[in-house]
Structure 1
Amino acid sequence: MSIIYVLIPIAIIIVALAIVIFFWAVKSNQFEDLDRQGYSILFDDDLPPEEKKLAEQRKKLQQEQDKHGTD
């Protein structure tokens, strides 16, 4: 029974630490871009410079459309 007096404070400390880490992650925008890592396996990294430039332009255009679509 006396182990309860040790385990409960340890559990409270662990939960408090998890909450602090979660709020730190939200504050530092760790959850901002969840799709990038999933899509990274689909795209080839050795594109020619011209195609990379076109892909970046398309990405910017898509982001602008998404931004205006959600407003």
Structure 2
Amino acid sequence: MIIVNSAMQQDNIKALLESLTEGEIKYTFKEKKGIQLIFETTAEDKEKAAKLAKDAIKNTDWGRVLYFNVVSQ
């Protein structure tokens, strides 16, 4: 499971991560708690999944200026 903490662009983050696949890593939106977006991931290495999600968000036009963080659990 990974958690994306962001107060803005939540719909864009959900759409981006649910459409993102790299190798065996896929993301499924689970729930929203306040500013937390919780995703299940198929990745064995949760840290790698968190880094991939963070990089994907940063590589968007809106993600470059977005204040957010991604943590694995």
What is the TM-score of this pair, normalised by structure 1?
Answer: 0.29
Larger Rg: 1
- Higher RCO by CA contacts (8 Å cutoff, separation 6 or greater): 2
Q: TM-score, normalised by structure 2?
A: 0.29
Q: Which has the higher helix share?
A: 1
